[in-house]
Amino acid sequence: MELIKCNKVFDGEQRKYRHYSDTLKSEMTFSLYLPASEEPLPLVWWLSGLTCNDDNFSQKGGFQKYAAELGLAVVMPDTSPRGESVADSQDWDLGQGAGFYLDATEEPWRENYQMASYILGELSQIVKSLIPDFSGKEAVMGHSMGGHGALVLGLKAEERFSSISAFAPILTPSDVPWGQKAFRHYLGQDEKKWQEWDATALLSQTEKAPAILVSQGDQDEFLTEQLVSTKFLTVSENQPEVRYELQSGYDHSYYFIATFIEEHLKFHYQHLTN
C-alpha cells in the first residue's frame, strides 16, 4: 500500500493510494477523503463513469466541503483494472476505463475484470482499515456507468448499504447500446445472465427497495439512447423509497454533479445516521 498524494482540503485530507489487487491481478489506485472529525465516520462510495478514474470526482465533484460539514468519509475507486498485461479494447466504451462494475465471465476479460468482487471485498477491507474510527455504516453513489454500478451493487448488497444514489445512470443496460456491448463481451451472449447486472431487473425482484435517489438532467445528450428510464420508472412505481428527479437544463457533465452533490450527500447522511 503506497500513499501517492495527500492534500488538505476543508480541514480534511484528500488522499490517493496505489496498491496491488489480488482480485484484479493488477496495480490499482483509489482516492479517499477523510474529514477532520472526532466522531465515528460513515463511508460513502463514489463510482465514476466511462473513461474516468479516481481523480475525476476528487478534483471536479466539489463534494469535500459538504463531506467535511457532514462528517462523511468518501472513497473513489478506479473504473477498471489497468496495465499492459490487462485486456483492453480500442473502443473507448470497452476495456480499461470501462469495467462496468461487474464480474466478467468471458475471455479475455475474466482474468482481470472482477470489479464487483474487488469493490465489495478486497477494496472494502483496505478502505475500512484506513478510516481511523469507522462507524460501520455505508452508502453508495455514482455517475453514468458508475450510477449503474451504484444501483447494481447497492441492490445486490442491500443489507450493507443504507442508501443508494445516482447521477444520470444507465438504468437498463440490457436494453441500450453501452450496456449491450459491455454485457456481450464481459458476460457472453446469454441475455438471461445480463439480468444479474441490470438495475431495473434487480429492482423488479426486490420486495422493498432501500432508499434510492436518481438525478437526471433533461438536456443530457445521452438521455434518449443510453439512459432510458421508462422501464425503471414502471418497476419503481410500487417502491416508495425510490425517487427519480428530472432536472431542467442540466447535461451529463460534472457541472451537473457539482450542482446537486450537496443534495445527494445530505440524502445519504440522513439514512446513514438514522
Query: Which residues are part of the catalytic machinery?
Result: 144, 220, 252
Cα gap 149→141, rounded to integer Å: 8
- 3-state helix vs strand vs coil in the chain, percent to 5: 35, 25, 40
190: left (phi over 0), alpha (psi -120 to 50) or beta: beta
12-21 and 2-9 as β-strands: parallel, antiparallel, unpaired? antiparallel
Give 160's contacts (C-beta < 8 A, 6+ positions apart): 120, 138
| Angle (CA) 31 36 39, round 5° | 110
In angstroms, what CA-CA distances link 123 with 19, 21, 119, 146, 159? 10, 8, 5, 16, 18
Positions of E strands within 35-100: 41-47, 73-77
12-21 and 26-34 as β-strands: parallel, antiparallel, unpaired? antiparallel
- In three-state secondary structure terms, 190 is coil
Element (H, E) at 31: strand 26-34
HSE-CB for 185 with a 13 A CA cutoff: 18
